[in-house]
Amino acid sequence: MRHILLYFGLITVSVLFLSNAGGVPQGVTGSITEASHNSCGTCHTSQTDVDVAIDFKILNKDNQQVTKYISGETYSIALQVNANNNPKSYGFQLTAIEEDTKDDAGTWDRYGDKVKPVILTIFQKQRRYLNQSAPKIDGLFTAEWKAPETDKGNIVFYYAGIAVNLNGNTSGDKHTKGQFKLKSNTSSIDDKTLDKKILLYPNPAGNHIRLQSDLITQIDFIDPSCHLTVHLSVEDGIVDISSLPVGLYICLLKDHHGQALFTQQLIKL
């Protein structure tokens, strides 16, 4: 009996360590779906005089960094692992999880140099990950990620990165991990209680208008006939429009980022 146990023990250990430079045998990004105690450091011993940092970016088609996604849009993901003390090379692991359902989020494509998709079984569930296919000298790992076709709420990217000395075993390397929350673009304005028709009232209005939504913090009043634009801010849900000349205005209702969320017509009496 003891021999059998030892035998299985040895198999388990060798399976655990049957890893190579071209991948990681388990999920170690710190994702909520993983065993929390696992990290690249489960196998790679840490080199104390090396500091590792990961720079994680999501870029839209115009190459602008985003913090919110639009359903069905494709984004470029760039994960840069950096370290001091001249490591020989770098590796990484990355996964995207829907915050609410804890399912894999979106789809991956167009893998950059030395990036490969892998399926790992985590708590009997198959999960999608990206990993190095081989150590990469510049530490930059890229891929395309397509957001879910419908709004799935917030999406969290969990990642780990490692700086390695390529000594052929797991000693003398250093790893770190992090996460990035990509917000749902519609979550803030897809509020069922918002009725666009009565966002702003009364209409026509004299000296003051009221706002239904506290998302709106400023309004541009555009007079189409003379191209006059007046910017006014919302104070406690009320805008003082006494300074506006009488007439018909197109109102751009903006959030605190200055992004126009709605347009509406207003008659100033």
Q: Which of 31, 47, 95, 132 is close enough to bind ligand HEC by CB under 6 A?
A: 132
Alpha-carbon gap, residue 57 to 78, rounded angstroms: 5
Number of residues located near ligand HEC, criterion CB under 6 A: 28
Q: What angle do CA 152, 154, 158 make, to 5 degrees?
A: 115
Give whole-number Cα distances, 143 to 7, 76, 119, 227, in Å. Answer: 41, 6, 16, 45
Q: Which of 6, 11, 13, 16 is close enough to bind ligand HEC by CB under 6 A?
A: 16
Q: Which of 168, 193, 226, 227 is close enough to bind ligand HEC by CB under 6 A?
A: 168
Alpha-carbon gap, residue 36 to 53, rounded angstroms: 20
Q: Which of 77, 140, 147, 162 is close enough to bind ligand HEC by CB under 6 A?
A: 162
Contact 212, 200 (CB under 8 A): yes
Instruction: Give the distance from CA 188 to its chain's centroid.
Output: 16
Residue with tokens 């801010």: 233
The tokens for 97 are 């999880």
Alpha-carbon gap, residue 86 to 184, rounded angstroms: 38
Q: Interface with ligand HEC includes 182 (CB under 6 A)? A: no
Binding mask 85-104 for ligand HEC (x = CB under 6 A): ------xxx-----------
Q: Which of 33, 71, 80, 170 is close enough to bind ligand HEC by CB under 6 A?
A: 170
Q: Interface with ligand HEC includes 19 (CB under 6 A)? A: yes
Pairing of strands 218-223, 247-254: antiparallel
Instruction: Give the distance from CA 248 to its chain's centroid.
Output: 41
Question: Which is nearer to ligand HEC, 19 or 71 (by Cβ)?
Answer: 19
Q: Which of 31, 34, 43, 211 is close enough to bind ligand HEC by CB under 6 A?
A: 43
Question: Which is nearer to ligand HEC, 44 or 128 (by Cβ)?
Answer: 44
Q: Check residue 212 and report its DSSP letter.
A: S
Piece of the chain touching ligand HEC by CB under 6 A; list 95-103, 158-166, 229-237, 239-247: 158-166
Piece of the chain touching ligand HEC by CB under 6 A; list 3-11, 21-29, 181-189, 197-205: 21-29
Q: Interface with ligand HEC includes 28 (CB under 6 A)? A: yes
Question: Which is nearer to ligand HEC, 137 or 228 (by Cβ)?
Answer: 137
Using the CB atoms, write b or e for 46-62: b if 16+ within 10 Å.
Answer: bbeebebebebebeeee
Residue with tokens 């990469």: 136
Q: Kindly state the smallest distance separating residue 88's Cβ from ligand HEC, in Å.
A: 8
SS3 state of residue 173: strand
Give the binding site for ligand HEC (CB under 6 A).
Answer: 16-17, 19-21, 24-26, 28, 40, 42-44, 91-93, 132, 135, 160, 162, 164, 166-170, 173, 175
